[in-house]
Amino acid sequence: MAKPQKSRQPFWLARVSEILETARNTQVPFLDRSAVERLFDVRRRQAIRLMHKIGGYHVGKAFVVGQPAVVEWLEKASASPDAYWAEAARERLEISIEEARALRDRQRKFMVSQEARERRLEGLPATIHLKPRELKIEFSGAEDLFRQLYELGQAIGNDYERFRTLAEGS
């Protein structure tokens, strides 16, 4: 499907499938302005514009639109290339947000102190045992192991010559 030219699309278009499903399951024959506001998650003026586009009409003092007309109109809207691309963009955005949250959560779990960044071999925790050609780490879980490996890496980087001497036993 060819991507349409950039134009300003209503933000609800990215949720058109979800809105259509809700409209199909609506048990009332007519929707008033406030129901359209809630369905499309729009404000008063936009709801009225949508109702005019869909074919709304006055019943007494109330302006309403028939539920079947809303469903039919949404079906046409959901079949448009604009809706396809808007929903695809929304999905990509949701995936990016979830990835960013996961990265943030991982970074929170593995926060390390400035002291850990400046660690030297003589300041390593007693749970890290380094002998010539042997390394042993005692840990209580994945986060503890990660923290200790990080500290060991920092100590090696900050004190490489001493580490080389210890590791090689020279």
Pairing type for strands 134-137 and 62-66 reads unpaired
In whole angstroms, how far apart are CA 102 and each of 38, 96, 98, 112, 130? 31, 10, 6, 18, 34
Q: Which of 160, 22, 19, 136 is nearest to 83 (CA)?
A: 19
For the full predicted model, state whether its pTM sits above 0.85: no
Whether pLDDT at 158 is above 80: yes
Whether pLDDT at 156 is above 70: yes
Percent of the residues in the chain that have a pLDDT greater than 90, as a whole number: 32
